[in-house]
Structure 1
Amino acid sequence: MILAIDVGNTNITCGVYKEKELLTTFRMTTKQARTSDEYGMNIMELLKINNVRKEDLEGTIIASVVPNVMHSLTGAVTRYLGTPPIIVGPGVKTGIKIITENPREIGSDRIVDAVAAYETYGGPVLVIDFGTATTYDLVTADGCFAAGITAPGIRISAKALWEDTAKLPEVEIKKPKSILAQETISSMQAGLVYGQIGQTEYIVGQVKKESGYENLKVVATGGLGRLISEEAESIGIYNSTLTMDGLRIIYEKNRK
């Protein structure tokens, strides 16, 4: 078994794999500062609750977009699980080549998603991750990470509405019955959800136009990805475990 850890801006998501099977997942909040001992105790307790024995884990892999948690988290994994983790970054084998202007600027989460999409579905493929930010990443037919687009995520947009506008309330992000809203809450929901759908359709169309890949596969993931993928005709596949799968694939490529 291996432990895959994805450190995002909002949550730290952990997954346990037995070969290619994802046995369980669990989460911790990213924004709460923790010591290595606190991370270690949390991880050990969550593994226990999910019936995973420390002795059955052969290794760990981590992808992170939050540098300031890495010292404590890496220390926790090394001390409590007994093996130093593989950290997704320069020098780690991924199976794809990054051909953007500055490869080191590409977040490890985006690389992991790109690896999973390319290995699972083949190229050319556009990966859309509906996370804290909404990202669109293009992998070419021969496995090159060629371009990326970054936009505000739905929750960021929603938070801006209710925090920066005095009379607008905090609302649940869901598709309203109609875009022709007649009161405040459904009006906000319509703008957030249909706005994201429209953005998705336009960006996918432009990527196809400028890349020349009319046969482009479009794969979505991320917390609100299912909601948008059910409505956006341009999205062909929704995969909720794409990031975890990518971590597993990269671990296997770097297994000693």
Structure 2
Amino acid sequence: MLLAIDAGNTNVVFAVFDEARTIKARWRIATDPRRTGDEYAVWIHQLLQLDGMAMSDVTAVIISTVVPRALHNLEVLAQKYFKVTPLIAGETPAQWHINVDVPLPEQLGADRALNAIAGHAAYEGDLIIIDFGTATTFDHIDYSGAYKGGIIAPGINLSLDALVNNAAKLPRIAIEVPEGNGSVIGRTTEDQMLIGVFWGYVAMMEGLVARMRKEIGRPARVIATGGLAVLFDMKTDLFDAIVPDLTLTGLALLYERSRIAA
């Protein structure tokens, strides 16, 4: 089985794929570059057992990371405990196998390239992929599967943290769908904050996607991934599909293509 590891700015996600590219189990842990390969091994050994698997069931590992300092310890995990040399997404021999059609392709984040791979494999035509993470990214994948560019915006939790941390009297609130009938005039401080963050984010997304579609000049499906996609889907018809495991699926596809190309 394949162990796919996606190390993001907030969490590291581990997923085990079987030969049919089906996810058998997935787990996440807070990203900490200081966490050693030994610590990862103790944690994942227990989780594999809870899901009826063993370390020896994993025969291949692929790693994607946007946190360079986290990579070494994940490589140690693969080499020492799974006895394999991991493929590193974006590095030889696991190049992207897509056309990254931007002036500085080396700047493209691994998660965004993987989303492009998985999105194009699942859907025809032009795509706009919105990924809700520490940052919220909007990416254009054209009908040929080429990555054409995109937008990086502060994630909604990052925006809320900045607001609370820089305004002494504002309370900390949770991101949720505002109550009521869609009113954007809040009656309390908490209501006003939630309206500003939630409806402000919906307006930003709808406005940016409209501008992207106009610039693309062709119909473009909007594919969303990331935990907050479902929350926003309750109050906007912007998304054509929500694919929670888009990045992980991209890792599994990249592993297959890299193995064939080797």
Short-chain TM bin: over 0.9
Report if aligned partners of 2:128, 2:220 keep a CA contact under 8 Å in 1: yes
The percentage of counterpart residues that share the same residue type is: 35
Task: Name the SS for the 2:187 alignment partner.
Answer: coil
CA distance, structure 2, for counterparts of residue 74 and residue 127 of structure 1: 29
Query: Structure 1 counterpart of 2:75, which letter?
Result: T
Query: Structure 1 counterpart of 2:63, which letter?
Result: I
1:32 shift after superposition:
6.2
User: CA-to-partner distance for each residue in 1:99-121, whole Å, 9 max, x for gaps?
Assistant: 11100000001101111111111
Matched, 1:76 2:81: no
Runs of at least 4 residues off by over 6 Å: none
Structure 2 counterpart of 1:147: 149
Structure 2 counterpart of 1:36: 37
Structure 2 counterpart of 1:20: 21
Query: Structure 2 counterpart of 1:28, which letter?
Result: I
Report if aligned partners of 1:218, 1:235 keep a CA contact under 8 Å in 2: yes
User: CA-to-partner distance for each residue in 1:176-223, whole Å, 9 max, x for gaps?
Assistant: 11432111112111111111111110111111111112x101100012
Q: 2:214 aligns with which of 209, 217, 229?
A: 209
Report if aligned partners of 1:200, 1:232 keep a CA contact under 8 Å in 2: no
Once the two structures are superposed, the pairs formed by residues 45-194 of structure 1 within 5 Å of their partners are 45-91=46-92, 92-177=94-179, 178-194=183-199
Query: Structure 2 counterpart of 1:55, which letter?
Result: S
Report if aligned partners of 2:90, 2:96 keep a CA contact under 8 Å in 1: no
Query: Structure 2 counterpart of 1:5, which letter?
Result: I
Matched, 1:196 2:201: yes
Report if aligned partners of 2:131, 2:138 keep a CA contact under 8 Å in 1: yes
Q: Which moved more, 1:170-179 or 1:102-111?
A: 170-179
Work out the number of aligned pairs and report it: 255
Structure 2 counterpart of 1:225: 229
Q: Which moved more, 1:91-100 or 1:158-167?
A: 91-100
Query: Structure 2 counterpart of 1:131, which letter?
Result: G
CA distance, structure 2, for counterparts of residue 154 and residue 84 of structure 1: 37
- Structure 2 gap ranges (5+): none
Q: What is the TM-score when the length of structure 2 is the normalising length?
A: 0.93
Structure 1 counterpart of 2:8: 8
Report if aligned partners of 1:220, 1:229 keep a CA contact under 8 Å in 2: no
Report if aligned partners of 1:36, 1:75 keep a CA contact under 8 Å in 2: yes
Report if aligned partners of 1:130, 1:225 keep a CA contact under 8 Å in 2: yes
Q: What is the TM-score when the length of structure 1 is the normalising length?
A: 0.95
Q: Which moved more, 1:185-194 or 1:223-232?
A: 223-232
